[in-house]
Chains A and B, each alone.
Chain A
Amino acid sequence: MPNTVLILVLLGLMAVAYQLARKRSLGVVGGGAGVRKLHSLPSYYGFYAAIWCGLPALIVFGLWNAFQSTIITDLMVADLPAEVRSLGQAELGLVVNDIRNLAEGNITSGEVSPEMRAAADHYLSLEQTSAAALAVVVLSLAVLGTGLAWRLVSPKFRARNQVEFVVKGLLIISSTIAIFTTIGIVLSVLFEAIRFFEMIPFTEFVFGLDWSPQMAIREDQVGSSGAFGAIPLFAGTLLISFIAMVVAVQIGLMSAIFLSEYAGKKMRAFAKPVLEVLAGIPTVVYGFFAALTVAPFIRDNGSLIGLDVSSESALAAGLVMGIMIIPFISSLSDDVINAVPQAMRDASYGVGATQSETIRQVIIPAALPGIVGGVLLAVSRAIGETMIVVMAAGLSANMTANPLQSVTTVTVQIVTLLVGDQEFDSPKTLAAFALGLMLFVVTLALNVIALHVVRKYREQYE
């Protein structure tokens, strides 16, 4: 029985269970007039039965599906001829893949041997058995659950409390997903990163000055020894983020100040939403803009005045990233500036300060912690930004502070290492996870600090 049909049948059973229990609850108190004798409304008895019918069955269904393919594959591999089983992990994976493709009626990569045909048949039969077993188990659990709930229906039975207990449980589980996501992120990058550090020493990765992740496929290949020194990537990331922050902080902060302190109502009503449009534009659009319009523009103008500008210059990527971050900085600064109490402004105007003196010497210093928090959040965003740099920054790991040259970043390397053909367990692939771990740790630290600073700032004026 296909899974969708099984789920539909299960939903049907739940509806039946609901009706049965509801009817029975009314029945035991002698029809609609006796509802007051029931502890809970009849529908709660219905929900209670539906939960007993559906929940255990769904849990089994979910677990079964999560582990089915691994278990079946293991069973199949165990029955493969010994010489196949003794193959390396990578080759074995290919064989297993072929067998699976064969079983599903797809095209396989090579000749179909009788052993493979047998294995595929075995695989198919295992799958069928599993599906049948699953259907039987799920449906009988549903019926058993309904029976149990049906027996429990009585006027004294606190169906509502039971139902609410389950609902509350579901709410709690939903709220913990955030924690599981974090754990999931940590585990998924950590395990692979540890495997990477088993091959490449941590110190070489963090302090190495040379990054060329191409590994030699043949022994005699030239110039691809594979070096994993991440410093050039960090330097490139910092360079581009720095350019972006220079653009974004100046324009974002100054336009926030101008719009909140100087601009007239009409100007504000027009300019604010227009600037906020920048926040809603997907990063891939910025990437396209950077690669197609800004980079050639900078290169052409640079060559006009005799500068040698790379067509994938850090300046283009940084500039466009800065544009992307402008609304982020300006709306955060706007909040923060408005949170400075009017009393501060009054005090300053009261001694005869001009508007700009008040802004520069009173409001900005007072708002500084909040602004710094916002800038830190923006830095974490710039460091983690991917599409703009993938599309507009280069791939070669240069150590340079010259914004006209091409540099590469951590996120660019993660993408290039993981997109396309992957060989698992090679340091090249695993390096992406090590970079991901670095990225996660750094941005997490920035976020924690920034959120803390911003919260402290808000509390100060509340």
Chain B
Amino acid sequence: MSNQNQTEKRAIDLVNASLKKRYAKERRFRHVGQAAVIMGLLFVSFLFISIIGNGYTAFEHTFVRLNIEFSEQEIDPEGKRDPQALSTANYAGLVKAAMRAEFPDVKARKDKRALYKLISSGASLALREMVLANPEIIGTKKEVWLVADDDIDMLIKGHIDRNVPESDRRVSDKVIGWVEQFESKGAVEKQFNTTFFTNGDSREPELAGIGGAVMGSLYMLLVTLALSFPIGVAAAVYLEEFAPQNRWTDLIEVNINNLAAVPSIVFGLLGLAMFINFFGLPRSAPLVGGLVLTLMTLPTIIIASRAALKSVPPSIREAALGIGASKMQMVFNHVLPLAMPGMLTGTIIGMAQALGESAPLLMIGMVAFIVDIPGGPFDPATVLPVQVYLWADSPERAFVERTSAAIMVLLGFLFIMNFLAIILRRRFERRW
């Protein structure tokens, strides 16, 4: 007995002796876990800070006020106010004239050319719009805010440092001098950048916008939604409610699960070989993008829809069958409406996936440089994430800003979609 007691004591002493070390380990493990979480959170914040920090300035753009003389001689020497003549007139000349008037002492050809480059080439288009909208303006003199060149914009926003030696910066001292002259007169101003939202792509950063890409994304999502929602729901209904348990259904199931994990670029190869080369559908069209993304999002939607159908209790089915409904009536009148919120949630998440996807779209030619805003799913177009990819390749500092801003818009859309999905789930989630 006493011997036993002694060994017991020994055991607990040993336990106590090991405790310090073990607790040190415990603490270390805990700290490692904590560090992992903090790292993860840091990555998230770093990502967002870097993008927002780079991009928020793109929502404003620098404008320069110029005293434009809408001289009749330049615009409409014949005085007929013929719209054809008005729209082909030399508006860039007006801008140049105004600049010359502003800086009368700039004489050298090279300097003049540099001077004209202060104002974006898009300014003449703006003037044309003004004249076409209101021809009475011709012959008058008016102060107009015109879009500044992207380098000037970067200078004003401070992305080009004025203190750096001249050879290291894109803007020469002379240009800075002119800009400062404008600034001293209050003729430089940052205004909300509407062009960014309404324009299509452009080689000139100050004229480039996401309007075309947003429309392209919209058409593509419409095609995807119109195809993947009905097909996905139908497939889920069949597999969950009608399919017999056999090898064929197993095969379908394995296929769906695997497709959900196939790299997206492989779907791009499918789209290229099948839809474009074999069926001869147009390249760069949102239609083809939509088809490819339909195949990609189907697994997501089918899996979510099946989960929604599974959550409808069997008692509902029995009740419907019990009063003599056919199986089809039971499914379409009772089960499907109850499962609909879950299916819609899955569909929204699938659409969010499709909206953010870019790799397969590179394969089917949606990387083309497209200036026009697409008018339908057959027009060549690009989409928002691909626009980000295209701009990310451009060297100009102004495109970095616009890329980040485009990402912010993209993330905004994704946030809204996911938020909708969460609301839908909260609102209609039933506990049986």
Given contacts A182-B255, A292-B400, A356-B29, contact A188 B359 (CB under 8 A): no
Contact present for A178 and B259 (CB under 8 Å): yes
Q: Is B130 an interface residue (CB 8 A)?
A: no
Q: How far is the CA of A380 from the CA of B262 in the complex (A)?
A: 8
Q: Is A305 an interface residue (CB 8 A)?
A: no
Contact present for B392 and A291 (CB under 8 Å): yes
Contact present for B410 and A192 (CB under 8 Å): no
Most buried by B among A66, A285, A444: A285
Contact present for A254 and B33 (CB under 8 Å): yes
Q: Is B302 an interface residue (CB 8 A)?
A: yes
Restricting to B200-258, which residues have a CB under 8 Å from any CB of A? 230-232, 234-235, 237-239, 242-243, 251-252, 254-258
Given contacts A171-B234, A178-B255, A254-B32, contact A433 B273 (CB under 8 A): yes
Q: Is B280 an interface residue (CB 8 A)?
A: yes
Contact present for A262 and B359 (CB under 8 Å): no
Contact present for B270 and A411 (CB under 8 Å): no
CB distance from B133 to the nearest CB of A (A): 31
Which residue of chain B has the shortest Cβ distance to A278 in the bound complex? B44
Contact present for A179 and B298 (CB under 8 Å): no
Contact present for B392 and A164 (CB under 8 Å): no
Q: How many contacting A-B pairs (Cβ < 8 A)?
A: 264
CB distance from B278 to the nearest CB of A (A): 8
| B-chain residues with CB within 8 Å of residue A170 when the two chains form the complex | 234
Q: How far is the CA of A70 from the CA of B170 in the complex (A)?
A: 53
Contact present for A254 and B298 (CB under 8 Å): no
CB distance from A299 to the nearest CB of B (A): 16
Quick one: CB contact mask for B251-294 with A, threshold 8 Å, 1 for yes?
A: 11011111101111111011011100111100000000000000
Contact present for A179 and B252 (CB under 8 Å): yes
Which residue of chain B has the shortest Cβ distance to A186 in the bound complex? B270
Contact present for B410 and A384 (CB under 8 Å): no
Among A138-146, A228-236, A269-277, A400-408, which stretch is in contact with chain B? Answer: A269-277
Q: How far is the CA of A18 from the CA of B403 in the complex (A)?
A: 53
Which residue of chain A has the shortest Cβ distance to B257 in the bound complex? A451
Restricting to B167-190, which residues have a CB under 8 Å from any CB of A? none
Contact present for B239 and A175 (CB under 8 Å): yes
Contact present for B26 and A355 (CB under 8 Å): yes
Most buried by B among A259, A275, A387, A415: A387
Q: Is A257 an interface residue (CB 8 A)?
A: yes
Given contacts A271-B41, A444-B258, contact A391 B22 (CB under 8 A): no
Q: How far is the CA of A170 from the CA of B235 in the complex (A)?
A: 9
| B-chain residues with CB within 8 Å of residue A288 when the two chains form the complex | 51, 388, 392, 403-404, 407
Q: Is B60 an interface residue (CB 8 A)?
A: no
The 4 A-B pairs of least Cβ separation, nearest first, read A384-B263, A258-B33, A282-B356, A188-B273
Binding site for B on A (CB under 8 A): 66, 69-70, 160, 164, 167-168, 170-172, 174-179, 181-182, 184-185, 187-189, 191-192, 250-255, 257-259, 261-263, 267, 271, 274-275, 277-278, 280-285, 287-289, 291-293, 323, 326, 330, 352, 354-357, 359-360, 377, 380-381, 383-387, 390-391, 411, 414-415, 418-419, 424, 432-433, 436, 439-440, 443-444, 447-448, 450-451
